[in-house]
């Protein structure tokens, strides 16, 4: 039986236009009414994705083209969300590799392509944004061929089809110099090149590759049916990752159509479907035959490279802004996140109020904290740390490949900044009026690097990185040089005090902000921390001063985003995160406690 289905995943480096391309494919297949208001970047549908302009979660949509159903999976481009890419590639039979005509293949293009090729997927290369000035699509095509070759592609994979065009202008065709009218050529190429799902003989098998939740039906398992066909109300076995087998009954069956799901009575092998009725399943479990269950091989997910301490908020301001402040609530939320976020691990610590969370990078952990914050949680997070391993008796740390695109006259500053953090330059190539620098740098060297590079290059550096592997420990690395300004009292900061203390450093707060003892309010201009009193108001007396009153002239404060704050703090500091505010504080709020702790550590 020939199946009129194609399953395809779109992979690319961040910002190369994946989600825009999916938009155009949906418009091309007449998914919306002529007068329907749909906006742009339809699939980036949660607030965080819209604000950051990136895809965080992989999503499914399906379109009809010439009577054939095309299931499209939009994947994230950031290496921090590689766990998402790895599991959804199992659902696809082929991939569209999208590459920016100007930037060419970037580190994360390499990362996701390697995963796809190793799974034996067939690729269509789409060179996007050919309308950009200074771009060279032919050179980009050659670079992509070299990349396929270097990643060990087979003869068949090397013989890929290339499509040129501009997602923004809504056209794709066989030649970049001759714009076409629409996406017809691309859609036809998908039907031609991407193979139909291979249907094996045998009993039913479906691996759960993602989760959804409905307040009516509970948890929903999403995956691609590999063998057999399933019907509503059918009894099935669920084979867990550890080999245990449980019996369940399918309640409802859905397939993807357009942006939503359609309920059906039966699903045949090769299609991507959503199933309700399975209890306490996890990603990677296999739904199989009731009598003779056969499990599919478990999903392999790369190890986390970074850890961070999550603690409940115990600052003097706790509970003022958030709904969920207890350790029980934070623990429940982290455990729930672990079910669907495969690259994340959570460990309990000796203290009931603290948890160690392991993830792929600062951004991966930052998105989790930001999501929790928006859900009304209050918590504190410690300094991100890389995970060290002992390999053949040698202490080893994760090393990343870092690429920085920067105007040539700033390249010296970039090399200097990266070298200070034990980075070694591998190559330097001209790219239009920019230079592309490639380095190998320890993962811990990346913490806080983006900010420094943007400052040094007047905001012109574009950086991207991917994990290379573990290498022997590279030695100590310089940390933040300047100390911080710490509040002595609790109260509202006054403009009068801040004006008198402004020569001691730069502030992170506005006048009138509520502060507490031990809260970090600014950066000292010298090494070493300084405790200051910001709550003194001007003494009002009957006496007229001979001179005029001072007008407080304050520079605007430095305001941090969540990730910048996480990268800024040292090991004796926390970022306090609440739905309304971000504050940086010392772990030990009392000055005497800090002195005792430092003299103890010095004595030890």
What is the per-residue pLDDT across 490-542, written as a single tens digit (0 to 9) for each?
999 988 888 888 899 899 999 889 999 999 999 999 888 899 998 888 777 66
User: Cβ(238)–Cβ(285) under 8 Å?
Assistant: yes
Residue 195 CB contacts under 8 Å (≥ 6 apart), including other chains: 93, 94, 122
Instruction: Write 434-438 long-range contacts (CB < 8 A, 24+).
Output: 434/405, 434/406, 434/407, 434/408, 435/405, 435/406, 435/407, 435/408, 435/411, 436/403, 436/404, 436/405, 437/403, 437/404, 437/405, 437/406, 437/411, 438/401, 438/402, 438/403
Q: Which of 540, 539, 555, 548 is nearest to 503 (CA)?
A: 555
Of all residues in the chain, what percent carry a pLDDT higher than 90? 6
**Residue 422 DSSP symbol:** T
User: Cβ(473)–Cβ(388) under 8 Å?
Assistant: yes
Instruction: Return d(Cα 46, Cα 59) in angstroms, integer.
Output: 12
Coil, helix or strand for 595?
helix
DSSP β-bridge partners for residue 441: 400
| Residue 111, φ and ψ in degrees, nearest 5 | -60, -50
Q: Residue 77 above 60 pLDDT?
A: no
- Residue 111 has which token pair? 């990362």
- Residue 196 has which token pair? 């139909």
Question: What pLDDT score does 38 carry?
Answer: 37
Instruction: Return d(Cα 148, Cα 183) in angstroms, integer.
Output: 25
Angle (CA) 357 363 365, round 5°: 15
Q: Residue 553 above 50 pLDDT?
A: yes
Coil, helix or strand for 260?
strand
DSSP β-bridge partners for residue 514: 492
Q: Which of 61, 57, 58 is nearest to 23 (CA)?
A: 61
Q: Residue 32 above 70 pLDDT?
A: no
Question: What pLDDT score does 524 carry?
Answer: 92
User: Cβ(158)–Cβ(150) under 8 Å?
Assistant: no
Q: Which one has a higher pLDDT value, 181 or 122? A: 122
Q: Which of 104, 63, 163, 189 is nearest to 172 (CA)?
A: 163
Question: What pLDDT score does 287 carry?
Answer: 85
**Which strands make up the sheet holding 171-173, listed edge to edge?**
59-65, 68-74, 5-12, 94-100, 122-128, 161-166, 171-173
CB neighbourhood size of 328 (10 A): 10
User: What are the tens digits of pLDDT across the range 6-29?
Assistant: 888 887 766 666 667 777 777 766
- Residue 347 has which token pair? 């460990």
Q: Which of 83-87, 291-295, 364-368, 568-572 has the lowest mean pLDDT?
A: 83-87
User: Cβ(357)–Cβ(345) under 8 Å?
Assistant: yes
Question: What pLDDT score does 36 carry?
Answer: 41
The string of DSSP codes covering 455-504 is: HHTTT--EEEEEEEEEEE---------S-EEEE-S-EEPPHHHHHHHGGG
Question: What pLDDT score does 96 carry?
Answer: 86
User: What are the tens digits of pLDDT across the range 453-503?
Assistant: 888 888 888 777 777 888 888 888 777 788 899 999 999 998 888 888 889
User: What are the tens digits of pLDDT across the range 358-373?
Assistant: 888 787 888 888 888 8
**pLDDT classification of 83: cutoffs 50, 70, 90:** low
User: What are the tens digits of pLDDT across the range 306-335?
Assistant: 888 999 988 888 888 888 888 898 888 888
Instruction: Return d(Cα 586, Cα 591) in angstroms, integer.
Output: 10
Q: In the predicted model, what is the mean pLDDT of residues 30-57?
A: 45
Q: Residue 267 above 50 pLDDT?
A: yes
User: Cβ(581)–Cβ(517) under 8 Å?
Assistant: no
Q: In the predicted model, what is the mean pLDDT of residues 544-567?
A: 75
Q: Residue 180 above 80 pLDDT?
A: no
Q: Residue 31 above 60 pLDDT?
A: no
Question: What pLDDT score does 475 carry?
Answer: 81
Burial class (CB in 10 A: 0-12, 13-18, 19+), 450: middle
Q: Residue 271 above 60 pLDDT?
A: yes
Question: What pLDDT score does 562 carry?
Answer: 86
Q: Which of 512, 483, 484, 516 is nearest to 498 (CA)?
A: 512
**pLDDT classification of 545: cutoffs 50, 70, 90:** low
**pLDDT classification of 3: cutoffs 50, 70, 90:** low
| Residue 443, φ and ψ in degrees, nearest 5 | -55, -35
- Residue 178 has which token pair? 């001759």
Burial class (CB in 10 A: 0-12, 13-18, 19+), 461: buried
User: Cβ(458)–Cβ(414) under 8 Å?
Assistant: no
Question: What pLDDT score does 515 carry?
Answer: 92
Residue where the block lists tokens 């269950």:
293
| Residue 431, φ and ψ in degrees, nearest 5 | -140, 90
Angle (CA) 226 229 235, round 5°: 110
- Residue 173 has which token pair? 């065709």
Instruction: Write 469-472 long-range contacts (CB < 8 A, 24+).
Output: 469/398, 469/399, 470/389, 470/391, 470/396, 470/397, 470/398, 470/399, 471/396, 471/397, 471/399, 471/442, 472/394, 472/395, 472/396, 472/397
- Residue 243 has which token pair? 């080999």
**pLDDT classification of 547: cutoffs 50, 70, 90:** very low
Q: Residue 446 above 80 pLDDT?
A: yes
Q: Residue 54 above 80 pLDDT?
A: no
Q: What number of residues does the chain have? A: 604
Pairing of strands 345-348, 354-359: antiparallel
Name the average pLDDT for the chain. 80
**pLDDT classification of 575: cutoffs 50, 70, 90:** very high
Q: In the predicted model, what is the mean pLDDT of residues 200-215?
A: 78
Q: Which of 248, 324, 338 is nearest to 286 (CA)?
A: 248
Q: Residue 110 above 70 pLDDT?
A: yes
Instruction: Return d(Cα 452, Cα 282) in angstroms, integer.
Output: 41
**pLDDT classification of 576: cutoffs 50, 70, 90:** very high
């Amino acid at each position: 039986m020939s199946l009129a289905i194609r399953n395809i995943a779109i992979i690319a480096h961040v910002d190369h236009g994946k989600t825009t391309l999916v938009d155009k494919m949906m418009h091309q297949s007449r998914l919306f009414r002529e007068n329907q208001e749909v906006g742009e970047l339809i699939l980036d549908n949660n607030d965080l994705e819209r604000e950051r302009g990136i895809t965080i979660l992989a999503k499914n949509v399906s379109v009809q083209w010439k009577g054939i159903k095309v299931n499209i999976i939009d994947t994230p481009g950031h290496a921090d969300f590689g766990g998402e890419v790895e599991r959804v590639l199992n659902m696809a039979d082929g991939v569209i590799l999208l590459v920016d005509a100007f930037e060419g293949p970037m580190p994360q293009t390499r990362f996701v392509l390697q995963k796809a090729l190793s799974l034996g997927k067939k690729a269509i290369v789409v060179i996007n944004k050919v309308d950009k000035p200074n771009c060279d699509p032919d050179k980009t095509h050659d670079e992509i061929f070299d990349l396929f070759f270097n990643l060990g592609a087979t003869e068949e994979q090397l013989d890929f089809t290339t499509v040129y065009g501009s997602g923004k202008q809504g056209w794709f065709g066989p030649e970049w110099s001759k714009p076409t009218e629409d996406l017809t050529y691309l859609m036809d190429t998908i039907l031609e090149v991407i193979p139909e799902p291979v249907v094996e003989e045998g009993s039913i098998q479906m691996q759960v590759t993602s989760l959804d939740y409905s307040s009516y039906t509970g948890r929903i398992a999403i995956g691609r049916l590999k063998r057999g066909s399933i019907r509503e109300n059918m009894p099935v076995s669920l084979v867990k990752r550890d080999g245990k087998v449980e019996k369940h009954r399918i309640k409802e069956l859905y397939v993807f159509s357009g942006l939503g799901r359609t309920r059906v009575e039966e699903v045949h092998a090769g299609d991507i479907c959503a199933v309700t009725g399975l209890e306490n399943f996890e990603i990677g479990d296999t739904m199989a035959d009731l009598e003779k269950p056969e499990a599919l091989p478990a999903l392999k997910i790369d190890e986390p490279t970074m850890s961070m301490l999550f603690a409940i908020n115990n600052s003097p301001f706790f509970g003022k802004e958030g709904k969920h402040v207890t350790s029980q609530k934070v623990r429940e939320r982290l455990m729930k996140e672990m079910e669907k976020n495969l690259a994340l691990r959570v460990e309990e610590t000796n203290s009931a109020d603290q948890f160690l969370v392991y993830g792929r990078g600062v951004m991966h952990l930052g998105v989790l904290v930001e999501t929790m914050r928006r859900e009304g949680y209050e918590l504190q997070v410690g300094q991100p740390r890389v995970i060290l391993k002992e390999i053949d008796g040698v202490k080893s740390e994760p090393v990343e490949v870092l690429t920085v695109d920067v105007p040539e006259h700033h390249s010296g500053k970039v090399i200097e900044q990266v070298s200070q953090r034990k980075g070694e330059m591998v190559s330097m190539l001209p790219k239009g009026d920019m230079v592309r620098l490639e380095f190998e740098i320890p993962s811990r060297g990346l913490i806080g690097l983006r900010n420094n590079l943007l400052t040094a290059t007047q905001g012109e550096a574009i950086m991207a990185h991917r994990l290379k592997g573990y290498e022997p420990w590279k030695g100590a690395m310089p940390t933040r040089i300047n100390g911080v300004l710490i509040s002595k009292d609790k109260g509202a900061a006054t403009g009068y005090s801040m004006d008198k203390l402004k020569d001691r450093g730069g502030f992170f707060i506005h006048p009138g902000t509520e502060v507490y003892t031990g809260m970090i309010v600014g950066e000292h201009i010298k090494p070493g921390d300084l405790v200051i009193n910001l709550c003194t108001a001007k003494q009002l007396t009957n006496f007229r001063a001979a001179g005029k009153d001072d007008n407080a002239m304050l520079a605007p404060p430095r305001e941090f985003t969540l990730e910048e704050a996480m990268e800024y703090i040292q090991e004796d500091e926390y970022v306090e995160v609440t739905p309304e505010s971000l504050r940086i504080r010392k772990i030990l709020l009392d000055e005497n406690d800090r002195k005792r702790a430092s003299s103890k550590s010095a004595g030890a």
